[in-house]
Amino acid sequence: MSEVGKVILLMGVVLVILGLLLTFFEKLPLGLGRLPGDIVIKRDNFTFYFPLGTSIILSVVLSLLLTLLFSLLRK
């Protein structure tokens, strides 16, 4: 299997595990989904939720992890 295939397979496994964790553990101890910057608008029969702060934090963390992973695979 090529290196790119291994990386894609690993990323898929990580996403499945993350999806299972988010499904079975509604309240994570990190406070994801309730960070400052997350936008919640509640009306009578409507709720709009946009996790902007959570998205930024996850983007930075995943970027750092992928950079580390790719630097380790190059050696």
Rounded CA separation 41/17 (Å) = 30
pLDDT value, residue 43: 92
Give the residue from 55, 69, 59 showing the smallest Cα distance to 10: 69
The residues near 22 (Cβ < 8 Å, ≥ 6 apart) are 28
Q: What is the pLDDT along the chain (75 residues), one digit of tens a residue?
A: 678 888 888 888 888 887 777 677 666 566 666 778 888 899 999 989 888 888 888 899 889 988 988 888 786
pLDDT value, residue 74: 80
Distances (CA, A) of 8 to 11, 16, 24, 59, 70: 5, 12, 24, 18, 12
Residue with tokens 């499945």: 16
pTM above 0.85, yes or no: no
